[in-house]
Amino acid sequence: MNTEFDKNEFKHIGKNLKASQEIKRPSLSYWQDAYRRLKKNKVAMLSFWILLVLITMSIIGPIITKNLYGHTYESQNLAEQNQTPIMSNARSISLLANDVFDYDKHVPNYRKNKTTFKNVRLKSPGKIGFKIGNAADESWQGDKKEYELMIEVSSTDTWNSIIEKLNNEGQRLLNEDPDFRGISFEKKGNSLVIKTVGQKWFNSTHWFGTDEFGRDLFTRLWEGGRISFFIAFISVFITSVFGIIYGGISGYIGGRIDDILMRIVEILMTVPDMLYTILLLTVMDPGIKPISIVLIVTGWMGTARIVRGEVMRLKHSEYVVAAKTLGASTKKIVFQHLIPNAMGPIIVNMTMMIPKMIFAEAFLSFIGLGVPVPYASWGSLANQGAKIFRQFPHQLLIPAIAISLTMFAFNLLGDGLRDALDPRLRK
């Protein structure tokens, strides 16, 4: 078998330098690559959209209700106090005159919006009438006045004709007075059942109900969101700036200065943040500015430690040595080389600090050290709702859900950012 090859059977191609240097796909910067990986994290992106909705509603929510209904976060209307998002149809019904029926007992059922006269027997002729008006419960949201419904029953009337007369009289009241929301009668077995009708289930003017002073909770919730988000964002921004400067200087200079600066941080961190907060607020008037100052004073230390660790890790890198060799100043090396390369952990830390600040503000408002009345924050709304939770649970549940959603979304978004910004997790 001949295993020799003739060189004339082959063609020499040579090097294709142009093809070897072509970029097969567009290059991505660090931030573009991080954004690409963040978009693949469905949980983080869902959290991002939830936060976007909450922040947007905090901005435009009070504007919507003010333009539609004239509600503001401080406007009171005691005639509409303690309304709920789901309206109640309950109305008190009592006998005005009764020459017609014998009955065993009268059972009102406000949950099912009906009143039943049990074991009813006809005893005609005569008059029968009902008084229909406000229920005794202070949370009731029914008719604003009382109505009288009266018919005359003759000896020739049957059950069906009596019920027809009653329903016709109820319809007449409904046609004459728009405030009256309707009533209907029917007989079931030996019982006369009176039902209230015509009420919308959804509270069309107060979407989340009202508080004890008749203030619109939808408006106050989003006004409270404005305050909570503003305090959180401004506090996190200022604490991050101060912590970056403090930790950057400490980590880059090192030595005795680093020991002194870090010992100060460790001493301050031995005392719980909330103790500092309560002590400072006891000597300051409550308000948005004092709360922001207190959260800034107690929140920068964690950022400083994170930045110090990152700077100490990066300061021996080749680009830092090159910058020193070229005569770059300490300020330029720290703020133009080290800090930008440590922005990944810093951004993740800022994302995690925002829910911490929101919860701290909510807690301070809950214990009475937050924003003063009539201003609203999620913590103050939860505090007011907790006092009457058994009667009106929605006044606590609505701000509690808003706080929980915000903290949950920020934490999940922070986890997603941490994974996206860490180059070691790149796939």
pLDDT in tens, 261-279: 999 998 888 888 778 777 8
pLDDT at 97: 81
What's the CA dihedral at 279, 282, 286, 291 to 10 degrees?
Answer: -10
The CATH homologous superfamily of the domain defined by 217-425: MetI-like (1.10.3720.10)
Please indicate, yes or no, whether the overall pTM of this predicted structure exceeds 0.75.
Answer: no
> What does the alpha-carbon distance between residue 360 and residue 356 come to, in Å, rounded to a whole number?
6
What is the overall mean pLDDT for the chain? 82
β partners of residue 184: 195
Q: Report which residue type is found at 265.
A: V
Tell whether the torsion through CA atoms of 387, 393, 394 and 398 is positive or negative: positive
Q: Are 128 and 151 in contact (CB under 8 A)?
A: yes
> What does the alpha-carbon distance between residue 241 and residue 237 come to, in Å, rounded to a whole number?
6
| C-alpha radius of gyration, the chain, whole number | 36
> Is residue 114 predicted with pLDDT exceeding 60?
yes
At 152 the three-state DSSP class reads strand
pLDDT at 139: 42
What are the extents of the domains in the chain?
92-196, 217-425
pLDDT at 60: 94
pLDDT at 22: 66
> What does the alpha-carbon distance between residue 181 and residue 177 come to, in Å, rounded to a whole number?
9
Lowest mean pLDDT segment, chosen from 38-52, 316-330, 364-378, 385-399: 364-378
What's the CA dihedral at 261, 262, 263, 264 to 10 degrees?
Answer: 60
The C-alpha angle with vertex 301 and arms to 298 and 302, in degrees rounded to 5, equals 110
pLDDT at 1: 57
11 vs 36, more confident? 36
For the residues of 391-402, what is the DSSP string, one character each? T-THHHHHHHHH
Which tokens in the block code for residue 194?
Answer: 């009176």
Which tokens in the block code for residue 324?
Answer: 């020193």
Report CA-CA distances (Å) from 122 to 152, 204, 258, 427: 13, 42, 96, 84
Q: What is the mean pLDDT of residues 355-359?
A: 88
Tell whether the torsion through CA atoms of 340, 344, 346 and 351 is positive or negative: positive
Q: What is the mean pLDDT of residues 293-303?
A: 87
- CA 249 and chain centroid, separation: 38
Q: What is the mean pLDDT of residues 323-346?
A: 86
Q: How many CB atoms lie within 10 A of CB 327?
A: 7
Q: What is the mean pLDDT of residues 374-398?
A: 87
Q: Are 236 and 357 in contact (CB under 8 A)?
A: yes
Q: Are 208 and 195 in contact (CB under 8 A)?
A: no
pLDDT in tens, 215-253: 999 999 999 999 989 999 999 999 999 999 999 999 988
Report CA-CA distances (Å) from 199 to 137, 180, 247, 256: 18, 10, 62, 75
pLDDT at 42: 92
Q: How many CB atoms lie within 10 A of CB 275?
A: 10
Instruction: Enumerate residues 6+ apart whose C-beta is below 8 A from 198.
Output: 174, 181, 182
pLDDT in tens, 134-179: 544 444 444 456 778 888 888 888 888 888 888 888 888 878 776 6
Q: Are 133 and 145 in contact (CB under 8 A)?
A: yes
Q: Report which residue type is found at 185.
A: F
The C-alpha angle with vertex 333 and arms to 328 and 336, in degrees rounded to 5, equals 115
> What does the alpha-carbon distance between residue 344 and residue 420 come to, in Å, rounded to a whole number?
9
Which tokens in the block code for residue 205?
Answer: 């003017």
Find the helix packing angle between 343-366 and 378-387, rounded to 10°.
30
pLDDT at 62: 92
Q: Are 211 and 220 in contact (CB under 8 A)?
A: yes
> What does the alpha-carbon distance between residue 326 and residue 249 come to, in Å, rounded to a whole number?
20
Which tokens in the block code for residue 394?
Answer: 């929605």
Q: How many CB atoms lie within 10 A of CB 25?
A: 5
Report the run of H or E that residue 151 belongs to, with start and end. strand 147-153
